[in-house]
Chains A and B, each alone.
Chain A
């Protein structure tokens, strides 16, 4: 039905630490322009799953293909692939010794070999897009958490990624800063960016995502259209129902 090509293909992936299974036989597809939210209780393996997509977490079984390229965390080609996959971390992970502008230009210059001028120009354009045009000369420590996360999003976007991965982008933020980050993500989704987001923000999931993947115990228990996920509770697995009821009660 959906004619867009598959950008992320996670195919029967398993990962162990010793005998402990972190991921078990997980399969998820993300098509171009889709926004897929991955949710589940902590320890369910959702952060690990999203980090397998750009090879930050190696897997023991299964196959991951991103935009036609098979991900091999151990090979040298992994760096080339990562340059085309944007990632936003829970703790922002801006480089504290670099100004905001240098955070945005570092990989453009060192990895994509853009000229400094071109990198600065793009950096500024993306800073403007996340509403921080005036902050280019500041250092990360001078910004609020919400601003830092928006810079991190701009830094990833400046690499012209084919897909953006978000690993709990609002979990480390004070509540009053969650909105500004979600607004940027929503605008990004509306512009057609392909996104895979690990998040507990069910409002965002309901309004912006196309599909919701529910994980528990390292397995993908549900992978359904957003309307279905937030529809009749009777259709859910018991674990998902329990998770959802807790989120609604507390969130």
Chain B
């Protein structure tokens, strides 16, 4: 094994052609991950809350939409947004935007079910106590239910976000120069070092995911300081 190839291309692995060209490599993977993590969390929260508060046909409609996004493969959604939207609606979505939208929608659909389950896991008595004090359903959710349910949802969020970091590698199919894409580029150029290159790339993914888990764990621990019966 000759890891000199890593040292020679380190800058390209980490940031792509930047600053002479657009950002790429590990840095772009990070940008894609953080953006989709934040948007999927917001979508998941909104979707989960809506699932808990809505009733009747609106709820059924939302379930169908969420079910749709959970059922289709990420790669297919990326293709649709990138190739179908321009044809169908004349909307031209850039590659980076496409990946963020696709990962956010699918991650959001998964998280919505986690949030909904977390909300439902709280006893009926807490809802009733909040209602008995005159809080609206929204007030009960905001002040009583969510503060108790969210810490329990943390593992679901972390799982989903880790899956999401790895799914950013699917961006290569539309030529977005994230980590996997630049790795393939370098590997094709250097020809004889695929083992070294992809071992190193695996290490970078591992570091990204571990860093997320570490940060989230710290945050959750701080949030858990309060007492539960």
Q: How far is the CA of A83 from the CA of B136 in the complex (A)?
A: 10
Q: Describe B's contact surface by its main secondary structure.
A: helix
Chain B residue numbers with a CB within 8 Å of A97 are 147-148, 226, 228
Residue of A nearest to B134 (CB): A83
Residue of A nearest to B126 (CB): A93
Residue-wise, chain B 105-141 has the 8 Å CB interface mask toward A (1 for contact) of: 0000000000000000000011011111111100100
Chain A residue numbers with a CB within 8 Å of B136 are 76, 79
Q: Residue A89 at the B interface, CB < 8 A? A: yes
Take A56-B128, A141-B229 as given contacts and tell me if A96 and B133 are in contact as well, using a CB distance cutoff of 8 Å.
Answer: no
Tell me the minimal C-beta distance from B125 to chain A in angstroms. Answer: 5
Q: How far is the CA of A51 from the CA of B125 in the complex (A)?
A: 12
Q: Is the CB–CB distance between B135 and A141 below 8 Å?
A: no
Tell me the minimal C-beta distance from A28 to chain B in angstroms. Answer: 19
Q: Is the CB–CB distance between A111 and B135 below 8 Å?
A: yes
Q: Residue B206 at the A interface, CB < 8 A? A: no
Residue of B nearest to A82 (CB): B134
Contact of A85 among B129, B132, B139 (CB under 8 A): B132
Residue of A nearest to B229 (CB): A141
Take A96-B227, A96-B228, A97-B148 as given contacts and tell me if A54 and B132 are in contact as well, using a CB distance cutoff of 8 Å.
Answer: yes
Q: How far is the CA of A85 from the CA of B128 in the complex (A)?
A: 13
Q: Residue B158 at the A interface, CB < 8 A? A: no
Q: Residue B46 at the A interface, CB < 8 A? A: no
Q: Residue B143 at the A interface, CB < 8 A? A: yes
Q: Residue B186 at the A interface, CB < 8 A? A: no
Residue-wise, chain B 199-229 has the 8 Å CB interface mask toward A (1 for contact) of: 0000000000000000000000000001111
Query: Which of under 10, 10 to 19, 20 to 34, or 35 or more describes the interface residues of B?
Result: 20 to 34
Tell me the minimal C-beta distance from B152 to chain A in angstroms. Answer: 11
Take A82-B134, A111-B139 as given contacts and tell me if A93 and B129 are in contact as well, using a CB distance cutoff of 8 Å.
Answer: yes
Contact of B148 among A86, A96, A159 (CB under 8 A): A96
Listed residue (A84, A95, A96, A97) with the most chain B CB atoms within 10 angstroms of its CB: A97
Residue of A nearest to B125 (CB): A93
Tell me the minimal C-beta distance from A80 to chain B in angstroms. Answer: 7
Q: Residue B144 at the A interface, CB < 8 A? A: yes
Q: Is the CB–CB distance between B135 and A79 below 8 Å?
A: yes
Q: Is the CB–CB distance between A91 and B134 below 8 Å?
A: no
Q: Residue A204 at the B interface, CB < 8 A? A: no
Chain B residue numbers with a CB within 8 Å of A106 are 133, 135, 143-144
Contact of B135 among A85, A89, A107 (CB under 8 A): A107
Chain B residue numbers with a CB within 8 Å of A94 are 129
Residue-wise, chain A 110-141 has the 8 Å CB interface mask toward B (1 for contact) of: 11100000000000000000000000000111
Residue of A nearest to B151 (CB): A97
Contact of B132 among A76, A87, A91, A142 (CB under 8 A): A87
Q: Is the CB–CB distance between A95 and B131 below 8 Å?
A: no
Chain B residue numbers with a CB within 8 Å of A140 are 227, 229
Tell me the minimal C-beta distance from B227 to chain A in angstroms. Answer: 4
**Contact surface of A with B, Cβ cutoff 8 Å:** 51, 54, 56, 76, 79-80, 82-87, 89, 91, 93-97, 106-107, 110-112, 139-142, 155-156, 159
Contact sample, A vs B, 30 pairs, CB 8 Å cutoff: A56-B128, A76-B136, A79-B135, A79-B136, A83-B133, A84-B134, A85-B132, A89-B125, A89-B128, A93-B126, A93-B129, A95-B126, A95-B130, A95-B143, A96-B227, A96-B228, A96-B229, A97-B226, A97-B228, A106-B143, A107-B134, A107-B135, A110-B143, A112-B134, A139-B226, A140-B229, A142-B227, A156-B132, A156-B133, A159-B134
Query: What would 11 more interface pairs be, CB under 8 Å, given A96-B148, A110-B135?
Result: A80-B134, A82-B131, A83-B133, A93-B125, A106-B135, A106-B144, A110-B139, A139-B226, A139-B227, A140-B227, A142-B227
